[in-house]
C-alpha cells in the first residue's frame, strides 16, 4: 500500500472517532475584538453576543472586566496569552502558574473558560524576534497545561491559532504540507502536544483571501458555500469538494497525517467575510459577507454534523470573525470591515448564530456591485476630519521614504501649488501608495487617508 493511500485509509477510519466526540460543540462562537475608537461597553457587547445567540466567545487577551461579566452566562469562553508573554511563560513555571492564577482561577468555573490560546498567528511573523517566540511556543503551552493539571482542571484545552500561511502547499487538499522551516522544529512538537492532550488544531481560515486573489479560477459561489452544481474532485484522494472551506480544512488534515497525526481535531478560530473594503478589494460587500456567514452557520450547526470530505460527521468548533467593525485596525480597508455589527453596535446585516433561522427567513440584502475587479483609477487622499498635527507628521513620513515620492512638491515644481497641507498630504499619500503598494503599503496612514476614484486635481 502506498504512503498516500495509507494516509487516506487512516483518515477515513479515524473519522469514526469524531462522530462520538462529546467535548465538541456545534454552537457557533464569535470573535470579540476591541480595536475600535467607538465601540460599546463590555457589558453592552456581551448582551449583543447573547442577542446574536452565540454559543461561545473568543477574546484576544484575558480582560478581567469581560471575564467577570461572562460569569454565570451560558457562553463558553476562549482567552488568549499575548504574543509578548510567551517567552517568559515558557522559561519559568512560576510565571505560567501566576498567569493561570490571574486569568483563569480568578474566574473559573463561574466563567466557563474552555480554551486557552497561546499566542495569535505567531508563525506568520518571521522576524528574528518572532523566531525566538516560535521556539518557546510549545514549551509555554506545556507550562500552562501543567498548571491546569495541578489544579485538576481538565475541561480547558490549550492550543494556538495559526493562519493558512503555515502551509507550503494546500492544493489539491491531499497535497497539504507544512512549510519546511517550521515542519520539524515547530509543527511536530505542537502536534505531539495537541495529540497527547486531546486538544484542537486551531486554524484561522478565510476563503475570501483565497478567492479574491484568484477570482477567475475559483467560483464565487464555491467560496461563499452556496449549494450549486460546482464541485472539485481531488485527483489523489478521489474526495469530492463542493466548497472552498472544506478544501482548505482538509489540506490541514492531510498535512497533519503526513507527520503521523491523523486524529487531532480541528477548530476554526477565525473565519468570515468582509462587508466592505477599498475600491480595489474585490467582493468585499454586505451581500457576500451575510451570505458566507449564514451558509457557514447552516453548515456548522447541521444535525447530524457534516464535517469535511476527509472527516465526514466531525463537529468543528467555529468562531466567526468578528463582532464589530474595528476602525483602529491597520492595513487595507477590509481589515476594518469584518464585523456583523457597526462600531456603534447597530447590525450591518441580519444574522442568527444559533442556526435555527432558515436562509429564506432573512430579508433581502443590498446587491453586490464589486464582485469583479475595479479597473478604474484610484487615488489616496486625506480623509475627512484628519487631525492637522498628525497630518503634518504623516506628510513628513511619506516624503521621507525617498524614491522621488514628493519631488513634485518642491517649490517651483508642478504640484507645489496650491500651498496647503491638505493638498500636499493628498499628493504625498497617493505618490507613496503608488510607489510602495507592491511592498505592502496601504492607503491608511493611521486613519488619516482614504481612497477615492475622483481625481484629486478636480477637488
Per-residue pLDDT of the chain (459 residues; tens, 9 = 90+): 454 544 554 454 454 444 434 345 578 999 999 999 989 999 999 999 999 999 999 999 999 999 999 999 999 999 999 999 999 999 999 999 999 999 999 999 999 999 999 999 999 999 999 999 999 999 999 999 999 999 999 999 999 999 999 999 999 999 999 999 999 999 999 999 999 999 999 999 999 999 999 999 999 999 999 999 899 999 999 999 999 999 999 999 999 999 999 999 999 999 999 999 999 999 999 999 999 999 999 999 999 999 999 999 999 999 999 999 999 999 999 999 999 999 999 999 999 999 999 999 999 999 999 999 998 999 999 998 899 899 999 999 999 887 788 888 888 777 778 788 988 999 999 999 988 988 888 999 999 999 999 888 766
Catalytic residue among 65, 85, 110, 121: 121
What is the rounded distance in angstroms from the CA atom of residue 273 to the CA atom of residue 269? 14
Catalytic residue among 85, 270, 326, 335: 270
Q: Can you give the pLDDT at residue 420?
A: 86
> Nine-digit cell at 73?
452566562
Cell numbers 461561545 label which residue?
56
Q: Can you give the pLDDT at residue 11?
A: 54
* b/e map 326-344, b = 16+ CB within 10 Å: bbbbeebbbbbbbbbbbbe
Strand ranges for 272-414 from DSSP E? 307-308, 311-312, 318-320, 379-382
Residue 32, H or E segment: strand 29-32
Cell numbers 511573523 label which residue?
125
What is the rounded distance in angstroms from the CA atom of residue 291 to the CA atom of residue 220? 11
Domains of the chain: 29-341 (3.20.20.80), 379-452 (no CATH)
What is the rounded distance in angstroms from the CA atom of residue 408 to the CA atom of residue 428? 9
What is the rounded distance in angstroms from the CA atom of residue 380 to the CA atom of residue 343? 24
* pTM score: 0.92
Residue 208, H or E segment: helix 207-212
Query: Catalytic site residue 270?
Result: yes
Query: Catalytic site residue 65?
Result: no
Burial of 185 (0-12, 13-18, 19+ CB in 10 A): middle
Between helix 128-150 and helix 188-197 the angle, nearest 10°, is 20
Amino acid at each position: 500500500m502506498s504512503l498516500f493511500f495509507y494516509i487516506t485509509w487512516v483518515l477515513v477510519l479515524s473519522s469514526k472517532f469524531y462522530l462520538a466526540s462529546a467535548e465538541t460543540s456545534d454552537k457557533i462562537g464569535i470573535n470579540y475584538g476591541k480595536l475600535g475608537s467607538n465601540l460599546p461597553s463590555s457589558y453592552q457587547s456581551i448582551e449583543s453576543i447573547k442577542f446574536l445567540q452565540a454559543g461561545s466567545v473568543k477574546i484576544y487577551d484575558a480582560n478581567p472586566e469581560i471575564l467577570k461579566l461572562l460569569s454565570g452566562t451560558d457562553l463558553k469562553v476562549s482567552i488568549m496569552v499575548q504574543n509578548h508573554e510567551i517567552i517568559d511563560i515558557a522559561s519559568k513555571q512560576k510565571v505560567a502558574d501566576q498567569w493561570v492564577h490571574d486569568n483563569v482561577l480568578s474566574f473559573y468555573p463561574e466563567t466557563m473558560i474552555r480554551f486557552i490560546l497561546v499566542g495569535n498567528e505567531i508563525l506568520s511573523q518571521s522576524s528574528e524576534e518572532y523566531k525566538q517566540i516560535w521556539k518557546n511556543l510549545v514549551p509555554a503551552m506545556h507550562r500552562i497545561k501543567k498548571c491546569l493539571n495541578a489544579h485538576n482542571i481538565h475541561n480547558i484545552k490549550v492550543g494556538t491559532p495559526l493562519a493558512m500561511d503555515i502551509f507550503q502547499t494546500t492544493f489539491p487538499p491531499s497535497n497539504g504540507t507544512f512549510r519546511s522551516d517550521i515542519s520539524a522544529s515547530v509543527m511536530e512538537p505542537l502536534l505531539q502536544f495537541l495529540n497527547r492532550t486531546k486538544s484542537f488544531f486551531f486554524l484561522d481560515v478565510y476563503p475570501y483571501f483565497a478567492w479574491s486573489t484568484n477570482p477567475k479560477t475559483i467560483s464565487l459561489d464555491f467560496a461563499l458555500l452556496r449549494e450549486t452544481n460546482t464541485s472539485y474532485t481531488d485527483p489523489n484522494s478521489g474526495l469530492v469538494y463542493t466548497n472552498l472551506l472544506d478544501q482548505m480544512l482538509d489540506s490541514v488534515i492531510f498535512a497533519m497525517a503526513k507527520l503521523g497525526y491523523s486524529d487531532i481535531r480541528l477548530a476554526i478560530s477565525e473565519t468570515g467575510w468582509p462587508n466592505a473594503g477599498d475600491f480595489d478589494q474585490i467582493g468585499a460587500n454586505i451581500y457576500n459577507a451575510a451570505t458566507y456567514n449564514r451558509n457557514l452557520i447552516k453548515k456548522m450547526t447541521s444535525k447530524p454534523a457534516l464535517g469535511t470530505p476527509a472527516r465526514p460527521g466531525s463537529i468543528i468548533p467555529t468562531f466567526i470573525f468578528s463582532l464589530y467593525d474595528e476602525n483602529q485596525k491597520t492595513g487595507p480597508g477590509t481589515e476594518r470591515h469584518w464585523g456583523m455589527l457597526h462600531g456603534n453596535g447597530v447590525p450591518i446585516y441580519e444574522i442568527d448564530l444559533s442556526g435555527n433561522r432558515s436562509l429564506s427567513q432573512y430579508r433581502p440584502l443590498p446587491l453586490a456591485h464589486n464582485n469583479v475587479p475595479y479597473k478604474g483609477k484610484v487615488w489616496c487622499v486625506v480623509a475627512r476630519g484628519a487631525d492637522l498635527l498628525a497630518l503634518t507628521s504623516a506628510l513628513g513620513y511619506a516624503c521621507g521614504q525617498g524614491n522621488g515620492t514628493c519631488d513634485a512638491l518642491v517649490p517651483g515644481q508642478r504640484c507645489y501649488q496650491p500651498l496647503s497641507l491638505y493638498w500636499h498630504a493628498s499628493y504625498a499619500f497617493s505618490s507613496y501608495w503608488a510607489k510602495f503598494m507592491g511592498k505592502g503599503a496601504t492607503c491608511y496612514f493611521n486613519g488619516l487617508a482614504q481612497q477615492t476614484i475622483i481625481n484629486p486635481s478636480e477637488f
